[in-house]
Chains A and B, each alone.
Chain A
Amino acid sequence: MNTTTTHSRDEAAFDPVLGVSLYREMVRIRMIEEEIAARYGEEKMRCPVHLSIGQEAVPAGISAALRKTDQVVSTHRCHAHYLAKGGDLKAMLAEMMGREAGCCAGRGGSMHLFDRDAGMLLSLPIVAASIPVGVGAAMAMKQRGEDNVAVIYLGDASVEEGVFHESANFAAVRKLPAIFVCENNLYSVYTPLRDRQPDRPISELGRAHGLHTVEVDGNDALGVYRAATELVAHARSGAGACFMLADTYRWREHCGPNFDNTLGYRTVAEFEDWKGRDPIESLILRLEGKGALDAAERQAMANEITAEITEAFAFAEAAPFPSIATAADNLYAL
């Protein structure tokens, strides 16, 4: 039987230590993404960038429930997933700057964050392309008798692709340790969900495929974490594949460093409403309510993160470009 679990903000069960670590993860992602946006005009990062500002709670909550040996797969919007999974910030920035030290040796760019050691098997820029690959990772885990899980991040548009359904069906029928995490930010580029899908919860698709399915507030990192913990335990135990629907919102333009509310495809009122549900600000309020993290502590944390970011940018900018003699290397495994 598939159950629906709605995770309310249960303040009694709220663990401040966990809250602080989720806060730090989200702020770190936000600060890194904002720095990328601020420096994008310097044209050192010469590739398209898809920022996750506003959507930090999902990767923060999910990764807190995972082990290092669990794998995630991601999409074009992959920075936050990579960072939260313990990815290497220096390797990510170097990749965006086309340097040999990048996690794909500068060959891929921002949409290609492949780092198996960090537990991010890959990210792919073709919508839904990474979904079956994540299911394949889960199948390998099962075949090899490992008790790891595979998390498959997907956008709301990717459930429109046939391959989502093929993959969900297979993961369900084979009870694979796969967890589909759908970040519904309401838009595919400029096209609203209502123009692309009928008016039904996306989570119904998970249920129809026989996946253990939950809906969460995608801007509530603690709620995401609690739901993820339960899904991960379910998948890890061999009970079967899962689906999480997390509603959230992208603040900046689909691709690039700017805001694009002037284009008119979404209203300023809608944007402001979602900004009012900032996953970071709302967690601050709750932490303050518990006396867990005061402004001075937050500032100290921010200083630490700034130092990390400054160092990582300096590293990436100083890192050498690939030698052109290596352009054709690695076409085949030897």
Chain B
Amino acid sequence: MPSERIITAAQAIREALGEALRDRPETYLMGEGVADPGGIFGTTKGLIEEFGPDRVVEMPVAENGLTGIAIGSALMGQRPIMTHQRVDFALLCLEQLFNTAAKSHYVTGGKHRVPLTVRMIIGRGWGQGPQHSQSLETLFAYIPGLKVVMPSTPYEFKGMMHAAIADDNPVMVLEHRWLHYVNGHVPEGPYLSPLDGPKVVKSGDRATVVASSYMVLEALRAATALEHVGCSIEVIDLRVLRPLDMTPILASIRKTGRLVVCDTGWKQFGIGAEIVANVVEQAFDALKLPPARVGLPDHPTPSSLPLAEVYYPDSTDIVKHIGRLCGLSPDAVDKACTEVLAVRQGVPIDKPDPAFKGPF
């Protein structure tokens, strides 16, 4: 039974953080803006009043040093939850994350633990341009020893946040900024949504779409429109990029034989490439046609609106790939694309999609 209560993902995150702070004295939040009136887009709002400045640590603008400080405290048994308002700012922390956090458990033969959660927000829209809207999950997913997760619904945001905090490893949580607005059914009180791999979020038999983060919503919208033209596709929410569990994806491919992957990052060297490589290695015989990848084109995010319009792929790109892979008529593809675009209500691409209110 899903919970009756509907809240946004931002509220779900805030709730998870509040519960963790309440239930686990070793947790603390750290980040630029965690204690300010904005409260990281509402996700930490008010927590400073309840938990005070030792548990809700407003930090200097010093990402690299403070990451090492968080790691040091984690080695001593604390559970820091660090937040960056953009993934782009977390680039300053890579040395500590990649060298210290990711390797401490391994090199000590399992004696050291780094129970660190790092929240990083992927920006999008309003011309914020090349250095405020990068989707850099593959950087982190490349590093053995880090866990990398990308929740897509409010339920998952809350449950996966709890799971990340409870985990004894460094967990990178990448939050797409536009998902913060999305509504969904979220139970009260703490619960875990295990960091155990991809999940089928809509079943179907004609093709498999593996999507991550915000693209899960685009994939579901494509799936609904395709359903209306008689094409039933399976949508898998990747959820956990590392450690990568291919089992549900391979099972789906064995059923459908057709694969489209779509994620929020660049297509080249992206998540999609890793998924496709695994499928080709492990289920080549099941593939009826070459897989397709939907991702960003090979250049930085342009600020200018008309350039952003052709930069970001959406549900119509998924529909078109499915149409080709499943041999749908041009009419059916057109009809599905028209439906998808109608739901968008003509809102410019640099503003959050009004159709993605949910509840999801």
Q: Quick check: is B128 within 8 A (CB to CB) of the other chain?
A: yes
* Chain B interface residue number, banded: 35 or more
Query: Smallest distance from the beta carbon of B267 to chain A beta carbons, Å?
Result: 12
- What CA separation (Å) do A98 and B304 show in the bound complex? 4
> B129 interface residue, CB < 8 Å from A?
yes
Interface check B297, CB cutoff 8 A: yes
Q: Does A318 contact B (CB under 8 A)?
A: no
**Chain B residues closer than 8 Å to A47, beta-carbon distance:** 126-129, 303
Q: Mark B133-175, 1 if CB is under 8 A from A, else 0.
A: 0000000000000000000000000000000000000000000
Q: How far is the CA of A228 from the CA of B199 in the complex (A)?
A: 61
Tell me whether A125 and B350 are in contact (CB under 8 A).
no
Residues of chain A within 8 A (CB-CB) of B306 are 98, 321-322, 324
Check A264–B305 contact: CB distance below 8 A: no
Contact of B305 (CB < 8 Å), options: A46, A158, A328: A46
- Bound complex: CA A191 to CA B59 (Å): 9
Q: Is the interface of A mostly helix, strand, loop or mixed?
A: loop
- When distances are taken between beta carbons in the complex, the residues of chain A under 8 Å from B298 are 328, 331
> Could you say which residues of chain B place their CB within 8 Å of the CB of A106?
302-304, 307
Bound together, the chains give a CA A99 to CA B302 distance in angstroms of 11
Contacts of A322 in B (CB 8 A): 302, 304, 306-307
Q: Check B61 against A98 for contact (C-beta < 8 Å).
A: no
B227 near A: Cβ within 8 Å?
Answer: no
A112 to B128, CA, bound (A): 10
- Give 1 or 0 for each of A150-180: 1 = CB within 8 Å of chain B CB: 0000000110111000000000000000000
Distance from A168 Cβ to chain B, minimum over Cβ atoms (Å): 15
Which residues on B sit within 8 Å (CB–CB) of A14?
A: none
With both chains docked as a complex, state the minimum distance between the C-beta of B125 and any C-beta of chain A, in angstroms.
Answer: 9
Q: Which of B59, B61, B130, B309 contacts A107 (CB 8 A)?
A: B130
A265 vs B303: C-alpha distance in the bound complex, in angstroms?
30
A161 contacts B302, C-beta separation under 8 Å: no
Look across to chain B and name the residue whose beta carbon is closest to the beta carbon of A129: B131
List residues 41-57 of chain A with CB under 8 A from any CB of chain B.
46-48
| Cβ A189 vs Cβ B36 within 8 A | yes
Cβ of B309 and Cβ of A321 under 8 Å apart?
A: no
Is A259's beta carbon under 8 Å from chain B? no
The digit string for B49-69, where 1 denotes a CB below 8 A from any CB of A, is 000000000111111110000
Q: Contact check, A161 vs B92: say whether CB atoms are below 8 A apart.
A: yes
List residues of chain A with CB within 8 A of the CB of B58. Answer: 191, 195-196
Within 8 Å of chain A (Cβ to Cβ): is B251?
no
- For residue B57, give the distance in angstroms from its CB to the closest CB of chain A: 10
CB distance from B32 to the nearest CB of A (A): 7
Q: Are B126 and A107 in contact (CB under 8 A)?
A: no
Using a CB-CB cutoff of 8 Å, which residues 199-235 of chain A contact chain B?
A: none
Question: Cα distance A104–B307 when bound, in Å?
Answer: 13
**Bound-complex Cα distance A109 to B304 (A):** 7
Which residues of A are found within 8 Å of B35, using beta-carbon distances? Answer: 191, 195
Q: Is the CB of B290 closer than 8 A to any CB of chain A?
A: no
Residue in B33, B37, B60, B309 with the greatest tally of chain A CB atoms within 10 Å? B60
B303 touches A98 (CB 8 A): yes
Total A-B pairs in contact (CB under 8 Å)?
122
Cα distance, A98 to B58, chains bound together (Å) = 35
Which of B35, B91, B299, B305 gathers most chain A CB within 10 Å?
B305
- CB neighbours of B62 from chain A (8 A): 160-162
Closest to A260 in B: B37
Knowing A160-B61, A161-B61, A327-B310 are in contact, say whether A46-B127 is a contact too (CB < 8 A): yes
* Contact of A125 with B131 in the complex, beta carbons under 8 Å: yes
Judging by beta carbons under 8 Å apart, are B126 and A48 in contact?
yes
A48 contacts across to B, CB distance below 8 A: 126-128, 132
Asked if A334 CB lies within 8 Å of chain B CBs, one says no
Asked if A328 contacts B299 (CB within 8 A), the reply is yes
Known: A161-B92, A190-B37. A107 touches B304 (CB 8 A): yes
Q: Which residues of B contact A197 (CB under 8 A)?
A: 60
Q: A238 on the interface (CB 8 Å rule)? A: no
**A196's closest neighbor in chain B, by CB?**
B60
Interface centre among A158, A162, A197 (most CB of B within 10 A): A162
Assembly CA distance A111 to B130 (angstroms): 10
In the assembly, what is the distance between CA of A109 and CA of B37, in Å?
A: 26
When distances are taken between beta carbons in the complex, the residues of chain A under 8 Å from B64 are 161-162
* A238 smallest CB distance to B (angstroms): 33
Tell me how far the C-beta of A1 lies from the nearest C-beta in chain B, rounded to whole angstroms.
30
User: What is the bound-complex CA distance between A47 and B60, given in angstroms?
Assistant: 26
Task: Give the residues in chain A near B61, CB-CB below 8 Å.
Answer: 127-128, 157-158, 160-161, 188, 196
29 residue pairs from A and B, CB less than 8 Å apart: A46-B127, A48-B128, A106-B302, A106-B304, A106-B307, A107-B303, A107-B304, A109-B127, A109-B129, A111-B131, A126-B131, A157-B61, A160-B60, A160-B61, A161-B61, A161-B62, A162-B62, A162-B64, A190-B37, A191-B33, A191-B58, A195-B35, A196-B58, A322-B302, A322-B306, A324-B307, A327-B307, A331-B298, A331-B299
Taking Cβ atoms with an 8 Å cutoff, the residues of A that contact B are 46-48, 95, 98-99, 102, 104, 106-109, 111-112, 124-128, 157-158, 160-162, 188-191, 195-197, 263-265, 321-322, 324, 327-328, 331
- A46-B305, A126-B131, A189-B38 are known; give 5 further A-B pairs, CB within 8 A: A48-B127, A107-B307, A111-B132, A189-B33, A196-B61
Chain B interfacial positions (CB closer than 8 Å to A): 32-33, 35-38, 58-65, 88-89, 91-92, 126-132, 297-300, 302-307, 309-311, 350
* 8 nearest CB pairs, A to B: A98-B304, A47-B127, A109-B303, A106-B304, A190-B36, A160-B60, A157-B61, A109-B129
